[in-house]
């Protein structure tokens, strides 16, 4: 039976929606000084929903056309930009003006163009540009969103082929996936997550850190560099763990690094670590496998040891579209997993047998939120 509080909320939402849909109310709201800014904000938000894909394609054109690098030599006239991008001057000017609207470019003097505030950020970060290139795969899968949602999730998509270990790490070139793009993407995205973890989590009480599903060790390298007292373990598929441990050993010293080959769904998690990390792993898996993974980790931990989970999460105040609208469809296109809220992850950890769970605030939750669980 529906609770009275829920019936009240539903009734309010229905009345509000009828009011907002009324053209007479829209006309009145747009002219009433006290609430005009609210109406304008709603209208601007509605247009951004409509035009968001065009904005992302402007950014893609800047990245794939090398316009960030071109304007680092600026200020330049449109003719010079056109010559370096193999565009007509009119087309170059259209792209420059579109970039100006998105703060990628600015025109400090008539007819001269240089990087804008956002443009300077993108130009200085090849990893972010690698993410922009990567998202062409998502856009291809979303060309017909209903077809994607109606299809069997086991059917391959552009994203699922990219992220499959066999495609990403073995024979990627034969599959049309650039290994350099994969490496840039992983290094950049792990770097963003590691920065949030380092700024919000203390490792002073830990002595041995195991990264489960740690790939080639980008996260462990960042944490190990900042905390040289830590002994590091990397658990992943055999060929991945071997490569990751070698790279970590070269960067931090082989005496600090232990490779643990295995499959975290089929094999026991290595014991003897007082902290275990899951970095952008949980949201890649459906509820059943994700719950089994948490139980597997819990079984390996001594009382007082901790599990650190860091990934973009759903239902983060102010970032709801990122969690549900972006990562929800991204993970659907991947064919596995879903974004979860900190509350949902807390419930899963409790069900797995963890004694205490703490949600840790991060400065940039768009990169990652953090949950710490104690065995």
Residue 172: predicted pLDDT: 41
Q: Within a domain: residue 12? A: no
Q: Within a domain: residue 11? A: no
Q: Within a domain: residue 261? A: yes
* Angstrom distance (rounded) from CA 242 to CA 217: 10
**282 and 290 in contact (C-beta within 8 Å)?**
yes
Q: Is the model's pLDDT at 51 over the cut of 80? A: yes
* Angstrom distance (rounded) from CA 222 to CA 212: 15
Residues 307, 203 share a domain: yes
Residues 98, 71 share a domain: yes
* Angstrom distance (rounded) from CA 242 to CA 248: 10
Confidence of residue 73 (pLDDT cuts 50, 70, 90): confident
Q: Is the model's pLDDT at 211 over the cut of 60? A: yes
* Angstrom distance (rounded) from CA 66 to CA 73: 12
* Angstrom distance (rounded) from CA 103 to CA 117: 6
* Angstrom distance (rounded) from CA 205 to CA 333: 39
Q: Within a domain: residue 40? A: no
Q: Within a domain: residue 41? A: no
pLDDT, tens digit, 9 for 90 and up, residues 290-322: 999 999 999 999 999 999 999 999 999 999 999
* Angstrom distance (rounded) from CA 199 to CA 228: 16
Its pTM stands at: 0.85
Boundary residue ending a domain (147, 175, 203): 175
User: What are the φ/ψ torsions at residue 369 (nearest 5 degrees)?
Assistant: -105, 160
Residues 106, 166 share a domain: no
Of the candidate ranges 15-19, 124-128, 181-185, 257-261, the one whose mean pLDDT is the lowest: 181-185
For residue 301, what is the DSSP state? Answer: P
pLDDT, tens digit, 9 for 90 and up, residues 149-175: 999 998 999 999 888 743 444 334 444
Q: Within a domain: residue 29? A: no
Boundary residue ending a domain (103, 121, 139): 121
Residues 289, 223 share a domain: yes
Q: Please name every residue paired with 278 in a beta bridge, in sequence order, or none if there are none.
A: 309
Confidence of residue 352 (pLDDT cuts 50, 70, 90): very high
Query: Residue 188: how many CB atoms within 10 A of its CB?
Result: 18
Q: Is the dihedral of CA 255, 190, 368, 295 positive or negative?
A: negative
Residues 161, 189 share a domain: no
pLDDT, tens digit, 9 for 90 and up, residues 9-44: 877 777 777 766 677 766 666 666 666 666 667 677
Q: Within a domain: residue 320? A: yes
* Angstrom distance (rounded) from CA 362 to CA 292: 27
Residues 195, 316 share a domain: yes
Q: Within a domain: residue 298? A: yes
CATH number of the domain encompassing residue 252: 3.40.50.150
Residue 28: predicted pLDDT: 65
Give the chain's end-to-end CA distance (angstroms, integer): 37
Residues 214, 158 share a domain: no
Number of domains in the chain: 3
Average pLDDT, rounded, for the chain = 89
Residue 168: predicted pLDDT: 47
Boundary residue ending a domain (145, 175, 205): 175
Averaged over 271-279, what is the pLDDT? 97
- Domain of residue 104, residue span: 53-121
Residues 323, 191 share a domain: yes
Averaged over 268-281, what is the pLDDT? 97
Residues 289, 200 share a domain: yes
Residues 233, 348 share a domain: yes
Residues 272, 241 share a domain: yes
Residues 357, 329 share a domain: yes
């Amino acid at each position: 039976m529906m609770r009275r509080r829920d019936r009240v909320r539903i009734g309010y939402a229905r009345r509000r929606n009828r009011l907002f849909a009324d053209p007479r109310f829209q006309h009145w709201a747009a002219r009433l000084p006290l609430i005009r800014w609210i109406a304008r904000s709603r209208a601007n938000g509605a247009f951004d929903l409509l035009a968001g894909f065009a904005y992302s394609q402007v950014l893609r054109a800047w990245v794939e056309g090398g316009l960030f690098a071109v304007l680092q030599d600026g200020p330049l006239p449109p003719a010079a930009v056109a010559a370096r991008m193999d565009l007509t001057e009119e087309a170059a000017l259209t792209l420059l003006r579109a970039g100006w609207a998105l703060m990628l470019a600015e025109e400090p003097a008539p007819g001269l163009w240089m990087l804008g505030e956002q443009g300077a950020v993108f130009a200085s970060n090849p990893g972010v540009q690698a993410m922009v290139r990567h998202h062409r795969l998502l856009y291809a899968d979303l060309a017909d969103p209903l077809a994607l949602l109606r299809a069997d999730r086991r059917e391959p998509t552009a994203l699922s082929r990219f992220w499959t270990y066999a495609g990403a790490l073995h024979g990627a070139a034969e599959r049309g996936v650039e290994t350099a793009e994969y490496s840039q993407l992983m290094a950049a995205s792990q770097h963003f997550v590691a920065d949030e973890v380092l700024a919000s989590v203390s490792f002073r009480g830990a002595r041995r850190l195991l990264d489960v599903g740690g790939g080639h060790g980008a996260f462990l390298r960042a944490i190990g560099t900042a905390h040289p007292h830590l002994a590091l373990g990397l658990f992943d598929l055999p060929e991945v763990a071997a490569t990751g441990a070698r790279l970590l050993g070269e960067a931090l010293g082989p005496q600090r690094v232990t490779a643990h080959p295995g499959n975290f769904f089929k094999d026991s998690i290595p014991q003897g670590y007082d902290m275990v990390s899951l970095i952008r792993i949980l949201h890649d898996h459906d509820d059943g496998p994700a719950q089994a993974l948490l139980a597997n980790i819990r079984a390996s931990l001594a009382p007082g040891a901790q599990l650190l989970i860091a990934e973009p999460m759903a239902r983060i105040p102010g970032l709801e579209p990122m969690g549900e609208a972006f990562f929800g469809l991204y993970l659907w296109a991947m064919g596995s997993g879903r974004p979860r809220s900190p509350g949902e992850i807390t419930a899963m950890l409790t069900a797995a047998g963890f004694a205490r769970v703490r949600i840790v605030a991060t400065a940039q939750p768009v990169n990652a939120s953090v949950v710490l669980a104690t065995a």
